[in-house]
Structure 1
């Protein structure tokens, strides 16, 4: 039987893969101007990295994590009825988000030494959550994220938010069709009392709340602000707001972040109900939403400050903040706005063979062109010359180099411009010398030629 991809996953076919690669390249270039460097962590971690960091009461940990076991440990847990006898290091989970793993790596490798500059890191890759599959919500999805460890200043918060907005703008997401929501979650000095006030509010209105929100009253009352039930949302409109309960330090930090965003011309909306879904957030939180065309899956990125997470992961006190953006969600936003740019396959030229007698020479020329940094194709199926031209046209190449026995006897090749259909003869030996020259430049760290025309120019090749 023929198999399909698992439910909630999607094959990233060449066109989408090219877009993903160009998106990551754009992120690397932009984030690099802010001092961010790449980091790649494992696709799975010891489960405690997530349960301790994200929070056991969150939906991500409680409902959505994919558990990973080796064949032997799976059989052992199956035989014993549970996996309680497994060691902590044997209990693994696929990463549902990127922050906890990056912070674990920062702690493990001491990337933020005492008195050192902050560690600025960015990542890109797949994440996994066992959610109900729907448009914009997959079980394997892709994120690009950035983390800054070691800075307490509001300037770091503002820089992080500005960098995210600049990235969306660079990728073509219309700023007029997005909204940036910000809030402060407080810290250990003010949030516990606020959390208790929200819990009591839910209990006072439990008859009007759904079963899930009544459960959250004791486990994670702030998550009730995110409930999609209309009745719960209506009740929570009158719940206590964190901005009315911030301590002086948190309020001053929040005011400075807003002042910095104002000075940078970044528009935002204060949303006192914005809590994000993970327990590690403190103080600044933010989220970017698309205002139309995305339905309930309108959030395309967000993040916040997590000043306690490094300690939770076993390190010394190290303030931190970060964001993640969803690639698939961003693509949907670009499609909705009509600004999704194509990422065409790059093929500089095609070398066509009149008959099999010239195939070895064509192959040699193809290899030389590729060594010089050009993307060049040739026929590997024994097609007719007419079919080869059709293939070249389908690939969108500008130049086709035709090798025939008559021209080859003179050491020549025929070059056709596919736009104008103009042809010219070039000297193969001279062209190969130019190819070798460019190839040497590439090995020495030089740049690839700007186009195949530069290598098969009629005057330059003669």
Structure 2
């Protein structure tokens, strides 16, 4: 069986079994995705977070403001289009949509701090590469309404708890403070003054950033630019006392939790509404592009999106595809594809109808039941039961119907037992519980 259609470049199918794409990257099976998503949801439940789901389609202006008009995402990577004079975009991230929803629906009136989490797809029109796709998936949290350092520390603690619950270790947490926008503006001037003499040595991208957004140069992965930056002024030297106290408190809270971190004075978020704490989580299994998740405080974003007053906020976003790469690199075993509790093999039309009815009855009792839908031979059905790794196969034919007792075969040992029809549910439920 073949088709001339294939998935769009930079996207992928999630199948019942793991598979490898053209570039040799393993794509996790749907059961593995469900396992990771269930783990995320459990961690969120334990940390008292509530789920929010926003549309994948948002106004272009929201994203341009939320992400920043000068960023590569807005300049080069948005899937944007127009319909009836309205500009739309497939969301490239989820923080701005969450803040939009918070403001639109007046979630602050619910009372208290709003602790929200999300899991969903995002879209960026970038060149696909290992762990980076045009449609990708993020999970993350946004804590809205709390300006205390404890909110920053808890945000980081939630991220570390997800990784711990998944069995992921060997992580590196980078931490920094951005201070206030006013302090950062002074620092930007000092950074520009420092870099101007090196302008001819900078890459075209960094020269462009030198004029528009110098802080982004600190993100460079080019070795010669990193060498230049070794002697550059650091943001912490421009941070005021209040911000230093906030940062020191966050570090102290992380120390209390036993969360290890490395202070990185070059770790920044290059947009004006980011404030105070910023962090990034790395895993060596991801190679040179080692970032697994990132986040920080963004107290000015609500105002950028139209709020009359600032809304203190902090959060993180993590890439699901990059998380799977890290899990693979660490040889972490995830959930296998679910297997049936029992496979029903039926011979003859009357037995097939009985098997069909019984399958529905057993499923109504919570059992995972598989059966043949092709009218194949008993040999073929037993082969299918083995393929699906069913621990038990219930065989029904004319003799079983007449005796009103099914033949139940334990597939591993080959042992068989006659089980009366009226005792099947109890018998199979018991075997499923002990399997």
Q: How does 1:324-339 map to 2 (within 5 A)?
A: 324-339=317-332
Q: How many Å separate the matches in 2 of 1:9 and 1:224?
A: 30
Q: How many Å separate the matches in 2 of 1:68 and 1:118?
A: 35
Q: Give 2:288's match in structure 1, choosing from 296, 315, 321.
A: 296
SS at match of 1:48: helix
Match of 1:81 in 2: none
Asked if 2 retains the 8 angstrom alpha-carbon contact of 1:130 and 1:139, the reply is yes
Runs of 4+ in 1 over 3 A off after TM superposition: 276-280, 449-455
Q: How does 1:179-198 map to 2 (within 5 A)?
A: 179-198=172-191
Tell me whether 1:145 sits opposite 2:140 in the alignment. Answer: yes
Q: How does 1:20-419 map to 2 (within 5 A)?
A: 20-70=33-83, 73=84, 86=85, 90-113=86-109, 116-174=111-169, 177-276=170-269, 280-291=273-284, 293-315=285-307, 316-419=309-412
Residues 450 and 136 (structure 1), Cα distance of their counterparts in 2 relative to 1, 3 Å cut: farther
Residues 44 and 58 (structure 1), Cα distance of their counterparts in 2 relative to 1, 3 Å cut: same
Q: How does 1:423-462 map to 2 (within 5 A)?
A: 423-431=416-424, 452=432
Q: How many Å separate the matches in 2 of 1:63 and 1:262?
A: 40
1:24-56 Cα offsets, whole Å, 9 max, x none, are 111111111111011110001101111111111
Q: How many Å separate the matches in 2 of 1:232 and 1:279?
A: 24
Q: How many Å separate the matches in 2 of 1:357 and 1:279?
A: 72
Q: Give 1:18's match in structure 2, choosing from 6, 31, 39.
A: 31
Asked if 2 retains the 8 angstrom alpha-carbon contact of 1:172 and 1:339, the reply is yes
Asked if 2 retains the 8 angstrom alpha-carbon contact of 1:399 and 1:452, the reply is no
Residues 280 and 451 (structure 1), Cα distance of their counterparts in 2 relative to 1, 3 Å cut: farther
Q: How many Å separate the matches in 2 of 1:196 and 1:354?
A: 82
Residues 454 and 136 (structure 1), Cα distance of their counterparts in 2 relative to 1, 3 Å cut: closer
1:253-297 Cα offsets, whole Å, 9 max, x none, are 000000011111110000010114655421111111112x32222
Asked if 2 retains the 8 angstrom alpha-carbon contact of 1:145 and 1:322, the reply is yes
Q: How many Å separate the matches in 1 of 2:244 and 2:298?
A: 16
Residues 119 and 453 (structure 1), Cα distance of their counterparts in 2 relative to 1, 3 Å cut: closer
TM-score, reference length from structure 1? 0.87
Asked if 1 retains the 8 angstrom alpha-carbon contact of 2:139 and 2:318, the reply is yes
Asked if 1 retains the 8 angstrom alpha-carbon contact of 2:60 and 2:87, the reply is yes
Match of 1:76 in 2: none
Matched pairs, number? 421
The answer for unaligned runs of 5 or more in structure 1 is 74-85, 439-448, 456-462
SS at match of 1:189: helix
Cα-Cα RMSD: 1.9
The answer for unaligned runs of 5 or more in structure 2 is 18-28
Asked if 2 retains the 8 angstrom alpha-carbon contact of 1:182 and 1:284, the reply is yes
Q: How many Å separate the matches in 1 of 2:106 and 2:249?
A: 30
SS at match of 1:69: strand
1:450, distance to aligned residue in structure 2 (A): 7.1
SS at match of 1:345: coil
TM-score, reference length from structure 2? 0.92
SS at match of 1:374: coil
Q: How many Å separate the matches in 1 of 2:431 and 2:210?
A: 64
SS at match of 1:424: strand
Q: How many Å separate the matches in 2 of 1:146 and 1:159?
A: 11
Asked if 2 retains the 8 angstrom alpha-carbon contact of 1:301 and 1:326, the reply is yes
Asked if 1 retains the 8 angstrom alpha-carbon contact of 2:179 and 2:275, the reply is yes
1:453, distance to aligned residue in structure 2 (A): 6.5
1:182, distance to aligned residue in structure 2 (A): 0.5
Residues 379 and 40 (structure 1), Cα distance of their counterparts in 2 relative to 1, 3 Å cut: same
SS at match of 1:25: helix
1:20, distance to aligned residue in structure 2 (A): 1.4
Q: How many Å separate the matches in 2 of 1:199 and 1:358?
A: 81
